Every structure is written in C-alpha cells, then in structure tokens.
Structure 1
Amino acid sequence: MIRYWLVGTVALVMLATGCAASPGATSKTVLAAAPEPTKEVRNLLLPYDHYQLSVNEIYLIESAKDLLTRDCMRKQGYDWEVIGDRKQYPDLRNRRRYAVIEMPVATEMGYKSNARLLGSTEVTAQKMDREARMSPAARKAATDPTDGCYKLAGDELARGNAENEDLVSRLNFESLEEARKSSRVAPALRSWVQCMADKGHKYKDFYAAAEDPRWATAKEPSDTEKETAEADVTCKQQAGLVKVLTETETSIQEREIREHKAYFERLASAKERHLAAARAVIDRG
C-alpha cells in the first residue's frame, strides 16, 4: 500500500534529477501542471523536515554539480550547459502526506498526482532538454552511472558529508502510522468516516479512499473520483483531521529527535556540510 508521505520524497528526487530524454526529444519540454499550493500546504512542515533536503536545498546542490560537471566535461572536450535561474520555491514535501487536503487539487485532479504538486518542474524540463541536445558521446561522458562527470561532481560534494538516512526515513514512516492510529487522532478520524458515509462514500480511512482501485483504471480522473476527493477534503476540514494529525506527528517526531539526539545532530551536521560544499563551489563560479 502506497503511503503519500513517500510521494514527496520521490518527487523531490525527480524534480532535482529530471528524467532521461530521448535524442529526438523536442527542445521545449512541457510537464504537467497542478493547482497552486494553498496556505495550509505551505505551512505544513514537520520536525524531521529540518534534517532532510528541501527542493531549494537540492537545487543549490544541483547548481554546484552543474559547475563541477562543466569543468569535468571541458577537460574531455565537451560542453555542458549550466542551468541558470533555479528560483526559490515553497517547501511542499508534505502536500500529499495525508492524501488530498486541498479543494482545488481535488476538483482538478481527484486523487491523481504528478511532480508539479511538490514543486516547480521548470528545472526538470530544462535538464531533459539539455540532455536531448547532447551527442551520444557527450551524454555518456556526462551521465555514465559509473564515472560520468555528473556522478563524479555529486561524489565530490558529498565526500565526508554523508550520514545514513535509513533511520530518519523509517521514523518518518512510523510517525505517520503512529499518529494515524493514536487515541488523539481517533475522534477526528471517526468523524471523517461518518462524514464520508453521510455523503455516500464508505471508507475505513482517507488512505482507503485515495487508493480505491477504481481510480487506477483511468489516466484522467473521472467525475466520480473528483467528487469523492472533494467530499474527502470537506470531511477532513469538518473533522479537523489534518490539524490533529500534524500536531500529533509533531509531538511524535520531537520525541524521537530527543531519543536519537546524537544521530539527528550528526544528520544536521552532514546536511550543513553538504550545503556548505555546494556554496563554496558556487562562490568560486
């Protein structure tokens, strides 16, 4: 069963790295749009977020990798297009943590998702276009997974700055599960279930609604899917479900940060060293 907090992590990686484009790709890639984030989503941040990279921090590192890759490629006789303006974006990594929570998203997309929900796709599109314009030899020199310039650039920036993120990733999943099953959240969840039932939608929880097999059969959301998602958002709002989930998860994560204090201190230090290494490269130009 897919849990929506993981979608944020995957999308952040996709936004940062882009996708491989075919040599015949057009020079102007256009990726799917999504409704602008609501204030609620912009403010939906949790304690663990401080210890993992945001989109803007990933873009900072990507800017430094571009510069290092350019220098490496020049030594091999190739050009490397440095992507210029990586704008600043709100941190939307938790936008789908509790499935759909915004009415504009429910109305337009139902329970469907795309990378644009988590941040800008402009940089991803530029990276896809850049790769499409490269010769096969230049592309291999840049993107070879063993010794390509882009990989080597990433290795250089991360050298001595890495900390195993398996624990925080596991705790991130567990805090959501613990909150969802907690006595503090139970009344709001029961209220959501009853609200949905009153509207003709019988689900045990909001994940069951989001993962209804009917939604997977069509690429575009049906009227039924969108109506169900709209009811879902309305019932979450009436039950105060997102608020109590966020408050409960915050308490759980703060507890775990205290219990694993040394680990989280190492994680924060490794992250800052990684960002500092990127800033140093950018400052050198």
Structure 2
Amino acid sequence: MQQHCMRGYGFRYLPHLSAEHIDAVVTTGREYDSRRYGISDRATAAGRGYHLSQEPPGTRGPQPATALSVPEREVLSGRAPDGRKLTTSVRNKTVPHGGCAGEAERTVHFGAVDEVQQGYDLVARLRREMSERSRSDPRVTAVNKKWSTCMRTAGFSYRDPDAAVDDPRWDLRSAAPSRAEIAVAAADISCKLRTNLLGVNFAVEAEYENAAIGDHSRELDAVRAHRDAEAERLPRLMRRYDRAP
C-alpha cells in the first residue's frame, strides 16, 4: 500500500522489497521469538550454536529509510524535515494525513489507528512485564541454579542461559559459530532438558500471563476483535496490492 501511494507521487519506494525478503524477515522473527528461554533444539545447537539461521542466498533487502531523499521522507511521513505537518502539495497532489505510511495504516486498521495501537502497546507491555516478573520468580531462579550447576559439571561457568548466549566470545553476526560456541550450546541444551528449565519457565510465565489476561479482559477482547476484523480484510487488500506498482 505504501508503495502504491508513493508511486502516485513519482517515487519508487522500497524497490527491492520482495516476497522472499518478507518471508526471510518473518522467519527470523519467529525464530527469535522461539528463543524466549534460549535455544531449545539439539540440531540447532549442533549446527548453529547460538547463531540465528542464515538468510537464503540472494535475498536482498530494500534500502533503509535513511537512504530516502528528503521529498520521499516527507511524502512517506507527511511531515516536513523540522517535524511539522507537511502543508505543501507534492507534484500538485495533497499528501494524506500522516503521509503514505499513515494512509496505509488507516486502510489496514479501518481508521481505528490510535485504538489499535493502544491495544498493541498494552499487549507488548503486559508481555514484557510478565516476562520480567517470571524471571525473578523463585521457581525460575531455582531452576536456573540447577542449570548452572549442570553446566559447571560439563566444564562451563554461567549464571543462567542468558549469560551463555551473551558470552562476549561469540560473534553472533559472523557467518558461522566457533567450535567453542557449539560446545557450550550443546551443553546448554542438555542441561535444560535435564533440569526441565524450559518447562518451568513456560509454566511460570504462563501463570503470570493468565492472571494479566484476567485483569485486562475487556481491553484484550477489543484487541482480539480488531485483529479478527483485520484478518478478514487482509485477503482483499492483498489481492488489490498483490504487485508492486
């Protein structure tokens, strides 16, 4: 939608955006989310250590927003360089409120942009807060200690699984993990399975999240209703904007 809108002002926005790139970004996001309590798969540990999966060869991302020209940024955001609302037309066309990005949001959210954003902000806040609370829960700290003891038996000294991932010896941006990283990751998985660290973390966090859901049922019901309405509209929008202009 943003591409089509920008095209109306003579700009070729995100020229290298492709289904392959979007799929790679979504896959990486899902993999990152799957590591809420660290890595949990032996095959992943043996092959990639703590590294995320590599993008498929030839996947090319679009240019970053910082590479856009000033006029492009103005049309995309609907704001002048000083942050004020854009009041001048571009190529004899009025720029929509919030620019092309704002127009796309209103189309997807059926005009209820602020309400939808508040709901998503609430979900993100609750998820973050419940995660923080669960991490300091005595049941979680106790299983972390068991995991740490198990790791020491294997010859590695880490306070908890996060410390193993954050070991400064690992260059997680490199193409491949070191043998030392793979060795630690393999021991990490073994100790998680031996102590049931994953199960304890999941159960404790779920307990906190269920309580939060009960406390915010009305707001979360509204979030679900908006999500369901968007899911019904998206197939129609995808057919309309299925190809870049």
Q: Same fold (TM over 0.5)?
A: yes
SS in 2 for 1:227: helix
Spell out the pairing of 1:66-85 with structure 2 (5 A cutoff).
69-70=3-4, 72=5, 75-76=8-9
Q: Between Structure 1 and Structure 2, whose CA radius of gyration is higher? A: 2
Q: In the alignment, does 2:202 pair up with 1:252? A: no
Give the structure, 1 or 2, with the largest relative contact order (CA under 8 Å, sep 6 or more): 1
Using a 3 Å threshold, how does the CA distance of structure 1 residues 213 and 179 change in structure 2: closer, same or farther? same
Q: In the alignment, does 2:49 pair up with 1:144? A: no
Distance 2:61 2:169 in 1: 34
Q: In the alignment, does 2:134 pair up with 1:163? A: no
2:132 match: 177
Q: Which residue type is aligned with residue 117 of structure 2?
A: E
Give the counterpart of 1:228 among 163, 176, 184: 184
Using a 3 Å threshold, how does the CA distance of structure 1 residues 217 and 127 change in structure 2: closer, same or farther? closer
2:108–2:234 CA contact under 8 A, matched in 1: yes
Give the counterpart of 2:42 among 93, 100, 103: 103
Distance 1:217 1:74 in 2: 38
1:106–1:229 CA contact under 8 A, matched in 2: yes
TM-score under structure 2 normalisation? 0.66
Q: Deviations over 1:174-199 (max 9, x none)?
A: 22232233233344322211110101
1:143–1:151 CA contact under 8 A, matched in 2: no
Distance 2:226 2:60 in 1: 29
Instruction: Name whichever of 269-278 and 144-153 sits farther off.
Output: 144-153
SS in 2 for 1:112: coil
Q: In the alignment, does 2:46 pair up with 1:113? A: no
CA-based RMSD of the aligned residues comes to 3.7
2:51–2:172 CA contact under 8 A, matched in 1: no
Q: In the alignment, does 2:235 pair up with 1:279? A: yes
TM-score under structure 1 normalisation? 0.58
Distance 2:136 2:31 in 1: 24
Spell out the pairing of 1:114-129 with structure 2 (5 A cutoff).
125=59, 128=62
Distance 1:76 1:217 in 2: 41
Q: Percent identity?
A: 24
Distance 1:144 1:180 in 2: 40
1:197 match: 152
2:3–2:12 CA contact under 8 A, matched in 1: no
SS in 1 for 2:170: helix
What is the CA distance between 1:150 and its match in structure 2?
Answer: 5.5
Distance 1:278 1:173 in 2: 28
Segments of structure 1 that go 5 or more residues without pairing to the other structure are 1-64
Segments of structure 2 that go 5 or more residues without pairing to the other structure are 79-94
Number of positions where the alignment pairs a residue of Structure 1 with one of Structure 2: 206
